[in-house]
């Protein structure tokens, strides 16, 4: 369960128009945005601290109607074939909000480069592109004027062969402490994510992630 002190999000959110169709192929994604001069990209995992693409501006934001879960397996960045790591994905949950960072990419060339980069980093590892409604955090002076945009993000395809799904948090923590990939230990990913979110959103709670974080810390002590 995700809890936010920013209760105005739920009350002030106005449903945006239906999102455009989405595709897992870069060619079709490029075609979709070929006439766009800017594109918002929402990050809720490692993109928060390591986006990997050029952007014009970044803002704290909330993905509306989505919950963050550590359900996607990873056999490259944070695990291997023998012991897949667990990384974040989003699941649809009507009354939930997921906090993260939204990045605005300006210019056709920069958009094309960013989409291609995300395909290599995310789509090749079991994710698909989705357009999701994202509410950009307003300044304290304009909390009554929230900005909602449609943003590109990557969500794990539940049918992909690496999808692990839900499990007991203690068991998940043991797996996370053991798994390691080319980008480093899986536990480093989970702890970095939790720590970055606390710094960015000190008043928010993410029960799933923060409870898993505590189990990971305990599992590290016992390891």
Q: Which parts of the chain have pLDDT scores under 70?
A: 1-35, 139-145
Note the pTM of the prediction, 2 decimals.
0.86
- Quick one: pLDDT at residue 11? 41
Q: Checking DSSP bridges between strand 127-136 and strand 57-74, what pairing results, if any?
A: antiparallel
Token output for 196: 């970055």
Look at the chain and report how many structural domains it folds into. 1
- Quick one: pLDDT at residue 142? 53
- Quick one: pLDDT at residue 29? 61
With 0-12 / 13-18 / 19 or more C-beta atoms within 10 angstroms meaning exposed / middle / buried, residue 44 is buried
- Quick one: pLDDT at residue 17? 41
Virtual CA dihedral for 52, 58, 60, 66, nearest 10 degrees? -60
Domain that residue 146 falls in: 2-222
What's the chain's Rg over C-alpha atoms? 17
- Quick one: pLDDT at residue 212? 99
Residue 95 contacts residue 126 (beta carbons within 8 Å) = no
Give me the CATH number covering residue 19: 3.10.490.10
**Per annotation, catalytic residue among 93, 119, 122, 137:** 122
DSSP string, 109-178: HHHHHHHHHHHHHTGGGTEEEEEEEEEEPPPGGGTTS-EEEEEEEEEE-TTSTTB-----HHHHHHHHHH
Is 122 a residue of the active site? yes
């Amino acid at each position: 369960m995700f809890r936010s002190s920013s209760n105005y999000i739920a009350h002030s959110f106005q449903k945006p128009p239906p999102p455009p169709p989405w595709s897992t192929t870069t060619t079709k994604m490029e075609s979709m945005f070929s006439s766009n001069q800017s594109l918002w990209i929402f990050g809720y995992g490692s993109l928060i601290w390591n986006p990997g693409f050029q952007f014009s501006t970044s803002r704290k934001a909330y993905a509306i109607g989505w919950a963050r879960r550590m359900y996607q397996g990873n056999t490259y960045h944070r695990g291997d074939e023998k012991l897949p790591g667990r990384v974040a994905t989003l699941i649809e949950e009507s009354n939930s909000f997921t906090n993260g960072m939204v990045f605005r990419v300006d210019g056709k060339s920069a958009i094309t480069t960013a989409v291609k980069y995300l395909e290599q980093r995310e789509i090749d590892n079991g994710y698909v592109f989705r357009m999701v409604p994202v509410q950009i955090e307003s300044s304290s002076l304009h909390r009554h004027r929230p900005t909602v945009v449609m943003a590109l993000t990557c969500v794990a395809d539940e049918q992909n062969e690496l999808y692990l799904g839900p499990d007991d948090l203690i068991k998940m923590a043991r797996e996370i402490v053991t798994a390691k990939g080319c980008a480093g230990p899986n536990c480093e990913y989970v702890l970095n994510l939790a720590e970055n979110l606390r710094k960015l959103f000190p008043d928010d709670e993410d029960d799933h992630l923060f409870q898993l974080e505590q189990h990971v810390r305990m599992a590290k002590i016992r390891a």
